[in-house]
Amino acid sequence: MPPPRSLPSPQALRLLLEREQDNEFIDLLSNEFIDLLATALQGSPVSKKNILSGWRLYLKWVREEGRGVLTADLAQAEAYAAWLKVKYEAPATLNNRLTHVRKLYGLLAEVGLWQGDAFTSVHGQVNPADLRRPVYTDAEIEKLLEVARPKERVLILLGASLGLTGPEVLRLRFEDFLENDHELRVAGRSVNLQCSPQLMLALQEVRRQQGEQPLYAVQASGLVYDFEDDQALRAAVFDLCRRAHVLYKAWMALRNHAGIQLLRETGDAKATAQQLGIGGRQALNPTVRLARKEG
């Protein structure tokens, strides 16, 4: 169990919020208030940093608008939400900023400085999962494959055709390809993945570059890629996108492309989820909606 949370003194918080001096001094008080209230935060350092950033943004807005923290009402909450919608184009960022403020008032409520539900009744923007999911289009995949070197071609097809994750690519070995490269065995997957003819041809070229000579029983072995980590993998895809004049997207965009292709070919959501290593049909729903939009 996590250790009991030690909440800051209500008196100290109220004093820092209610004192009014020149702007420079108010900035100092705001920072002291945030530092004090942050002692009650739990979670990862990254999460805490994001929350504190949201608090600073809100306190700055409150000061510039001539409003108060402890006197916030529904009108103030709606005004802040409207301001965020102008400031942030991405719904996820807007929604996160509102979540940060709700966290602020939740802590103030715990120490008895706040009563009400102004911010809990104000919502951001609808942000469906399928709209948040990036995907490479068929045309973009073709552009990438046109300029890709053999190993890069295999890399793109592992994501866009088989739907491998980044970590799975990092662990991939030549020995994982079975039946003359017709199948791929992936740890943790319940079924072997069927390699497309395009992937098989690309892989054969990579094997030749590795010095493989089947007639002399010389076979490529070991890791297919020598990427140090996910960052190196992303850098390789980024470089390929730059050369192909394709907008770079996260590795997940390749997996999403694979999911759409599988749904088109089979119409079987359960089998598609199984091949992608996704836990169940519900987790695949955003990809299903993407496939419908792609037609």
DSSP label at residue 40: T
Distances (CA, A) of 236 to 47, 230, 251: 29, 10, 11
Residue predicted with more confidence, 262 or 129 = 262
pTM of the model: 0.57
Residue 233 has pLDDT above 80, yes or no: yes
pLDDT value at residue 2: 46
Whether the pLDDT of residue 23 is over 80: the answer is no
- Give residue 3's pLDDT: 46
- pLDDT grade, residue 201 (50/70/90)? very high
Q: Note the pLDDT of residue 126.
A: 53
Nearest to 120 by CA among 74, 75, 87: 74
- Our CA dihedral for 280, 283, 287, 288, rounded to 10 degrees, sits at 60
Above pLDDT 90, what percent of the chain?
Answer: 31
pLDDT of residue 22: 41
Proportion of the chain above pLDDT 70, given as a percent: 78
SS3 content of the chain, % helix, strand, coil (to 5): 60, 5, 35
**Helix pair angle (150-160, 138-147), 10° resolution:** 160
Average model confidence (pLDDT) for the chain? 81
Segment 263-291, tens digit of pLDDT: 888 888 888 888 888 766 666 766 766 77
Give the CA distances from residue 255 to residues 5, 14, 275, in Å, rounded to whole numbers and listed in that order: 41, 50, 11
Q: What is the pLDDT of residues 79-136, one digit of tens each?
A: 998 888 878 766 778 888 888 889 888 888 887 777 877 888 777 655 455 455 688 9
Q: What is the pLDDT of residue 169?
A: 96
Which H or E run contains 31? helix 23-38
HSE, side-chain direction, 13 A CA sphere, residue 239: 11
Asked whether residue 26 carries a pLDDT value surpassing 70, the answer given is: no
